[in-house]
Structures are given as C-alpha cells and as structure tokens.
Amino acid sequence: MKVVLTCFAAPTHFYSMVPLAWALRAAGHEVRVVSQAAMAPTITGAGLTAVTAGPTEWFGDRHAPDLLNATFPGCLDRVRDFDYAGTETWTHTGLLALEHMASSAMWATMNDDQMVDDMVAFVRDWRPDLVISETYTFAGSIAARVVGAAYARFTWAPDGALRARQALLRMSAELPECYREDPTAEWLSSTLARHGSSFDEKVITGQFTVDITPPGMRVETGLHYESLRYIPYNGPAVVPDWLRTPPERRRVCLTLGVTDNKHGQIDHLDPVLGSLSPVELFDAVAELDCEVIATLDPERLSIPVPDNMRAVGFVPLSDLLPTCAAVVHHGGSGTRSTAEVNGVPQLMVAEGWDLLRGNGIAAAGAGLCVPVEKITGQVLCDSLRALLDDPSFAEGARRLRDEIHDLPTPAALVPRLEALVDAYREER
C-alpha cells in the first residue's frame, strides 16, 4: 500500500515517527514524508523520501510570530502554559480562549493555506491508502478526507489538548446554540470546503491514533488508540569516543533543549528553567557526587563549568542515557521517551502541556516533576540527590521500561495498520 507520513517542520516531533516509516518500507510498502521544505534534509537524512509542501518554514513569514503576538499578546505562551492537567479548574470561557488562540496562533500557521493546498494536490496525484499525521499537522487529515484515504494521528504525549477540546464541546453543548463557538471547526470547515469536502470531528481525532505514550500515562478521551513501542531515533549521529568508556561514578545527563539555539552565548536558561541562572544551576550540580554530562555547547557558555561536569554539545541520547543513573530535562518528548525506554529515573522541570507526562512519571515512581516556577538550585540539588540515592526511583523506571517493551514494535504494528486501512479506506 501507499502511505503518507506528515509532520510540520519540527524535527523533534518527526523523529519518533521515523522507525514506523522504516518498518512500513521494510514490509514492502511505499512511503512518502510530507513537510515544509526546511525539514527535507531531516527526512532524507533518515533515509526516507521527502515531499515538500507549503512555505519553507512552518511560519512562512519570519515576522509572523511577532505579528501574532501583537494581535493576541502572549498567545503562543498561553497555549503552551495552559494548565492541561487541572481539569477541575477548567471553565468554558478559559477553554474557548485556549481554542481561539491555538487555532489561530498554531494550527492555522502550522497548516497554512499553501501547506494544505500543496498537500491536497500531492495526495490527489499519488493516491495514498493511509495518511499518518503528527498530532497537530492537520494538513494530513484534510488531504486524507479529500481523497478518501484512511487517516491516523500519531501522538507523542498524553492527549491533553484534545481532552481540553472535548471538555469545551461538552460545556458548549449545554449552552444556547448561539453561544456554541468552535473556532477550530470553523477554520477546518472553510478549508475543507475549498477542496470540495466537509468537516466532522474525525478530521481532528483521526479514525484511529498511533500512540507511543505508555498506556498507564494516557488521559481518557474515549478514542481508538493503537499502542506503539517507542524506538529512539535522534537523527544522524556519531558516538563520541569518550562515551565508549564506562563512567567511573554515577552519571547524570543534563539536557535542556537549548543546543540548537544559534543566537549567541548561553547566558540564561529562561524559559527552560525559569528564573534559575546557569551559575545557580552549576553551583547546584557541583554539590553532587556524580559525573554530569550537559548537552550545552562549551564554546557558547559564558561561565566555567564545575569540575564534575562535562559540556559536550550534541550527543545521541539513545547512546548516552543507557550509561546514566538519572536525567534532568525540560520535558521534551524525545528525551522523556528515550529515558523511559532505557529505564532511567527522570527529573522533569516542566510547564504547561509537559506537566501531564511529568506528573505521570512521578505517579509511576519513575522520577520527579517540578513545575518550572518552583525550581531553585536547592530544589534541583535535593531532587537529583533523591533520584540517585533512593532505589525506588530506579525500580519505578525499570517497571515503566518493561511496560513499554511489552508494546508492539513498529514491525509488529504494520499488519494491524494494513487491516485498519482495509476497514477505513473509502472505495475508489
């Protein structure tokens, strides 16, 4: 069969999809990966065939983020920082504001008209049997609906945003019809109408969802999930020589998602660690009896690192984390999932949507989660010391690892996808 995978131009969102693409190819299926042109080297670097759609970047106009924030002040931060875990505090007004900001500031920019039109043109020509879209890349669901292909979402974290939308729809249903706003449905309806099709909720939810989230950490949505074991992929990489030597003492990985920041020296970590400065961070880890491997570019650090720290820039986490006794990170999906699959206790300093998975890590006994606004040097030091010295965290991380290892591999999922395509693809 012919399969399209699509993800807006965010490599870290795409990496978790790569092993499934490989498995589909190895099973004899044709695979194309559609994204903005900026991600073509990432796609081809994974040995896959790229198709470009839309502007070069997912913000086609480099001034667009500033324009959005001028129109909706702080909208991108508000979507990211919304309390996706605090269901008991949700109100219709708050959820509707979230939906307005998400649909305009994110969904409609990741999937602008040029991206959607190019995607639809490609699938009309290539006629895929199945489209698998990263959870926020709605251009894929739109195109699949237009041509009658089976359609699945690919999720890399608990479905917090979708659960919030479902709560909004339930609350709206209790209001008079004139108050039942749905900005996302309005945008998708008008976009589909341009291509001779129509909207229903499955354009957002998919006919089914491929999910790498461990089942015990999912939120309840009532949807059809197909579990997939996470297989680490960090992009093309070379293992450094020093990593081939076993550590002489306990090793901690410190990775904060700032290694790809090319704009000058790393002299602050906001918003990754809130108000915690690099000096306070380094002073905190200097107190620990461990080796700290920090994925920070040493040439861009404006202060010296402590004696027990090695700043290494980029290193493939799939090779580093198996050597570690703990990892400190900001909640990024790749780091989090790679730590889980390797049974490494985690200290997540998280906010907004990442708190859902962080709270799940803590509930599983596999680590600790500290909201970014509560992190201090002392809290970080005490939390890391607990992860290193309390064996229950290592035991919890191993339990979580074993749960993940029981999930279907990409190769094992392929026959299931073939059956689902037969069930959902429209007759042509």
CA–CA gap between residue 323 and residue 352 (Å, rounded): 30
Q: What CATH number matches the domain at 241-406, 1.10.10.10, 3.90.1300.10, 3.40.50.2000, 3.90.550.10? A: 3.40.50.2000
Write the CA distances from 114 to 69, 155, 428, integer angstroms.
Answer: 22, 24, 26
CA–CA gap between residue 358 and residue 372 (Å, rounded): 11
In this structure, are residues 135 and 116 in contact, taking their beta carbons and an 8 Å threshold?
no
Give per-residue pLDDT as tens, 220-239: 999 999 999 999 999 999 99
CA–CA gap between residue 252 and residue 327 (Å, rounded): 5
Indicate the domain borders of the chain: 2-229+407-424, 241-406
The neighbour count for residue 196, using CB atoms within 10 Å, is 8
Q: Which of 22, 411, 403 is nearest to 213 (CA)?
A: 403
pLDDT attached to residue 353:
81
CA–CA gap between residue 129 and residue 143 (Å, rounded): 12
Q: How crowded is the C-beta side of 83, counted as CA atoms within 13 Å?
A: 8
What value, to the nearest 5°, has the Cα angle with vertex 332 and ends 344 and 22? Answer: 85
Is 2-229+407-424 assigned to CATH 3.40.50.2000? yes
CA–CA gap between residue 335 and residue 317 (Å, rounded): 7
Strand order from edge to edge, sheet including 225-227: 50-52, 30-35, 2-6, 130-134, 150-155, 208-211, 225-227
* Cis peptide, bond prior to residue 271, ω within 30 of zero: yes
What value, to the nearest 5°, has the Cα angle with vertex 354 and ends 89 and 218? Answer: 80
Q: Which two tokens stand for residue 36?
A: 């903005």
Give per-residue pLDDT as tens, 387-420: 999 999 999 999 999 999 999 999 999 999 999 9
Q: Which of 21, 13, 10, 28 is nearest to 46 (CA)?
A: 21
The reported pTM is 0.93
Instruction: Note the helical H segments in 174-268.
Output: 183-194, 202-205
Could you tell me if residue 367 is left (phi over 0), alpha (psi between -120 and 50 degrees) or otherwise beta?
left
Domains 2-229+407-424 and 241-406 share a fold: yes
In this structure, are residues 274 and 254 in contact, taking their beta carbons and an 8 Å threshold?
no
pLDDT-flagged residues of the chain (< 50)? 259-268, 270
